[in-house]
Amino acid sequence: MRAGFVIRKVLGAFSTLAFVVVFNFFLFRVVNPNPVDSMFRGRNLTREQLDEITRKFNLDGSKWDQFVGYVQQLARGDLGLSFKGNRPVSTVIGEALWPTVLLVGTSTVLSMIGITIGYRAGWRRGSRFDTASTSFSMITYSMPEFWVGMVFLGFFSAKLGWFPVGGLEDPGSNASGFAKYLDQLHHMVLPATVLAIAYIGEYMIVARSSMIETLREDYLQLARAKGMRDEEVRRRHAVPNARLPVVSLSAINFGFIFSGAIAVEAIFSWPGIGQATYLAIRGPDLPMLQGLFLLISATVIVANLIADLLYGKLDPRVLGR
């Protein structure tokens, strides 16, 4: 892989991240220039007390002074203090990170079965399998996650009682070791299934479209003319050349692992990044929103960088662009 290609992609990623840092700061300051006044409106606090709270959260001074202080905080790895609970934002995010990685990561891996189904549907375009799988993918992809979550919660939890109604584990449970993991797995079944249903349709649609586009290439006809069987043509030539859009989609979805699934986590009371985002919006908790927005943006940027580098590895033609 050419060094110039790698350097160009890395510099592009850093430039995007720098823009996100600037945008992240000024967006919330413009939307809510003085969050302290809005949060404590109606409470019996003196002007001096409000000014002290403003200084504590580094909201005093000009916007430029606040921005310089914000960048200096980021350079030290400090995301500030949350308005709710007066705790470091990095600590709150760290506590919510593992549940989200567990939930969204598991559902993303499970949903990748849609790639195999999409490839086979595209290869057998017009067949009954293609019609059935495409209809299924369109239906699942179009269903809102929050609606599917509420249906599953109402039927499998409230009506049948097969699964817990929410949370990562039973509040009163003293389980440890393997029993604790089983309890968490029991709680994760419904939210992970809801997310997987949405993702699997997306993977199927992209994989099928990519395979159909690949089937138009002349080198597949050449491979058949050499006497290769259809199954071998598909495995050795069609699938490797149809995977580039799927690689891009997979990288983006893995980037969103750290953003969580706000609707699903809120419905199932899953204590992850999505739930933290929902609570921060309700606050509103300015430092938390800034920290979460920066985390989500950074992971998506890194995921796209990885996808670009994989493109250069999988398809050398990209290096010359």
Whole-Å CA distances, 273 to 24, 73, 99, 203, 270: 18, 21, 8, 23, 9
CA 311, CA 34: separation in Å to the nearest integer?
A: 45
CA 81, CA 92: separation in Å to the nearest integer?
A: 10
Domain boundaries, the chain: 95-308
| SS3 of residue 311 by DSSP | helix
Please answer whether residues 268 and 137 qualify as being in contact, where contact means their C-beta atoms are separated by less than 8 angstroms. no
Match 């293609």 to its residue by tokens: 130
Question: Mean pLDDT throughout 300-317?
Answer: 74
Worst-scoring range by mean pLDDT, 25-34, 101-110, 127-136, 244-253?
25-34
Indicate whether 139 pLDDT > 80: yes
Percentage of the residues of the chain whose pLDDT score is greater than 70: 72
Q: Please name which of 57, 53, 33 lies closest in space to residue 43, comparing C-alpha atoms.
A: 53
CA 155, CA 115: separation in Å to the nearest integer?
A: 29
Q: According to CATH, what is the number of the domain 95-308?
A: 1.10.3720.10
| pLDDT tens track for 24-36 | 887 766 666 566 6
CA 97, CA 53: separation in Å to the nearest integer?
A: 28
| pLDDT tens track for 48-90 | 666 666 676 666 667 777 788 778 878 888 787 787 777 888 8
Q: Give the pLDDT confidence score for residue 144 in this predicted structure.
A: 80
What residues contact residue 290 under an 8 Å CB cut-off, 6+ apart? 24, 25, 28, 79, 80, 89
Higher pLDDT, 234 or 298: 298
Question: Mean pLDDT throughout 235-251?
Answer: 71
Q: Please name which of 148, 123, 141 lies closest in space to residue 203, comparing C-alpha atoms.
A: 141
| SS3 of residue 88 by DSSP | strand
Whole-Å CA distances, 225 to 84, 214, 218, 239, 242: 68, 17, 11, 18, 20
Q: Give the pLDDT confidence score for residue 111 in this predicted structure.
A: 82
CA 305, CA 152: separation in Å to the nearest integer?
A: 36
Match 């919510």 to its residue by tokens: 96
If you average pLDDT over each of 56-60, 90-94, 121-125, which comes out highest? 90-94
Please answer whether residues 303 and 255 qualify as being in contact, where contact means their C-beta atoms are separated by less than 8 angstroms. yes
161 confidence band (pLDDT: 50, 70, 90): confident
Q: Give the pLDDT confidence score for residue 63 in this predicted structure.
A: 73
Question: Mean pLDDT throughout 85-98?
Answer: 83
Indicate whether 321 pLDDT > 60: no
Please answer whether residues 292 and 274 qualify as being in contact, where contact means their C-beta atoms are separated by less than 8 angstroms. no
